Chains A and B, each alone.
Chain A
């Protein structure tokens, strides 16, 4: 984990003075997430619905964490509370010691799909964050170009999103979130709508970018392969109510490539995850049955 901090020449395009000016802290120390005893309860027509129950989680700066779980287990809700969209009903969420009360550009967000502004060109989409941060149009355009190069889409800066494929749109989404130099990148099943081929390439892409950026990433997925391939750590959640049932370290060396997916150590880890998830899920079921 600590083997790669700042070593890639592509990093030259990133503006490190801005990165530090934004936070006042050196890059490696930004993005510590702390979730403590969080319950998230929604009022629905059929009474209160507990989406997240008693969740506690600490993510270290620069760590890549996957929230893994079945659909509807509250993993996206938990992430949305880190993003600042959903206030916890109980407990607290802090990033770098500050309580999260609303969304902020310091916590970049990548959504599942169709989240680009369709009326803005690719460049305008990426420049939006810097513009909102108050830099001038020229500088914002410059930042946008930098980040579009980073995701390999510089040639498409004047295209509208609806002409791009799903994978390209997601890369623009990643560039847009990163253009604010966030200390935390929150990704809500960003590759969930893509076909398998594209998905694998996107995962490699993401790791390439992240290796240069080294910010904290929280990545929501229901795909075990994806979680193992990407993360330093997998936090497993169970459904209704959403609870954290396992916390698995992924000690696979980086950089990771597609060949890893068929390697014995990947398989072993995946098996370990499956077993653990199965055991914990069974436990959870039994506890629920006892309680019920």
Chain B
């Protein structure tokens, strides 16, 4: 979650799209000269490779990914049904088929959805607060040495504390169980957002700032038109990571939940020795976390459309 690893995360995504670029690269290679006639090059809209090529490249890669998961499920099934026990013990682990059957039961009931809804609500509230606070503090720290010197010690000190460790304090400090859980989730999401925002803001390109100043931009205008857009790729990476961390902090927070929440569901299944339900809970958290992270990335795409080669507004 430190800024370096985020940069790496950010670079993983465009790889998928990179193959669709040759036409664009060619368009860009065409040279300038005096007055290129209008419409001479409009290659970028038709630059998608034909379906066959898509399947060979992107399609194959997704197929491999799915197969990788299927292999794991098959191995798990075999291990469970045969009672694999060699240091790792599968004796008490329900097989995927058993978990699947239990999942079908859960999906037909109402209770399971209530758990999910409660968790979604908590994550949504905590996440929105974390994004607002994180971006504001991050920009302040990135822009002002004072702000950074004041806030950074807190972050360095508090960031390594795992979400579970906050539970006692959260209960003592906050009025309701709900607010305690939201607080813990909020903390989880906050740090990646702050650190990535700081990182992005500190990377501001000084040539662009000078360009903006020579065009008459005020400090506020520079913040809005140069600093924030420039930091956006890093901020979006932070938002995505923050969403992931929010989900696993939520699980910790919901230990103290009295009734609902997917984390509560998982812990409660453990105390009730309902093994298939534990696995359902775990996978649900994983799935929801992935889904929400994906939504954040997709939702932020319009902010980064300028990065896609050949993008048109």
Contacts and interface: CB of A to CB of B under 8 A. Distances in A.
Interface of A: 83-85, 102-105, 107-109, 111, 114-121, 128-129, 132-133, 152-155, 158-160, 162-165, 167-168, 171, 176-177, 180, 197-198, 201-202, 204-205, 208
Contacts of A162: 306-307, 309
A81 to B, nearest CB: 13
A155 B230 CA distance: 26
B215 A163 contact: no
Given A117-B208, A128-B225, A165-B29, A180 B216 contact: yes
A104 B214 CA distance: 5
B210 to A, nearest CB: 6
B34 A105 contact: no
11 contacts: A107-B214, A111-B207, A117-B212, A132-B221, A153-B36, A162-B306, A163-B27, A180-B215, A180-B216, A201-B33, A201-B34
A84 B309 CA distance: 34
Nearest to A186: B214
Contacts of B216: 104-105, 129, 132-133, 180
Which residue, B32, B44, B213, has most C-beta atoms of chain A within 10 A? Answer: B32
B217 interface: yes
Interface string B273-305: 000000000000000000000000000000000
B306 A132 contact: no
In order of increasing CB-CB distance, the 3 nearest A-B pairs are A152-B35, A167-B32, A105-B216
A32 to B, nearest CB: 19
A160 B207 CA distance: 18
B312 A159 contact: yes
Interface residues of B, number: 41
Nearest to B35: A152
Nearest to B311: A160
Given A152-B36, A158-B313, A204-B34, A118 B210 contact: no
A239 B226 CA distance: 34
Contact of B31 (A105, A116, A133, A197): A197
B214 A201 contact: no
A104 B215 CA distance: 7
B157 interface: no
B210 A163 contact: no
Contacts of A155: 36-40
B32 A201 contact: yes
A133 B27 CA distance: 34
Nearest to B228: A119
Interface in B22-52: 24, 27-40, 44
Contacts of B73: none
A158 B216 CA distance: 23
B208 A115 contact: yes
A214 B177 CA distance: 72
B78 interface: no
B214 A165 contact: no
Contacts of A197: 31
Contact of B207 (A115, A132, A180): A115
Which residue, B40, B208, B215, B311, has most C-beta atoms of chain A within 10 A? Answer: B215
A119 B229 contact: yes
Contacts of B226: 117
Which residue, A118, A159, A163, A176, has most C-beta atoms of chain B within 10 A? Answer: A163
A146 B3 CA distance: 43
A205 B34 contact: yes
Contacts of B40: 155
A107 B211 CA distance: 11
Contacts of B31: 165, 167, 197-198
A198 B29 CA distance: 12
A105 B29 contact: no
A163 B211 contact: no
Nearest to B214: A109
Contacts of A201: 32-34
B96 interface: no
Contacts of B313: 121, 158, 160
B169 to A, nearest CB: 41
Contacts of B212: 117, 128
Contacts of B217: 128, 132
Contacts of B24: 163
B200 to A, nearest CB: 12
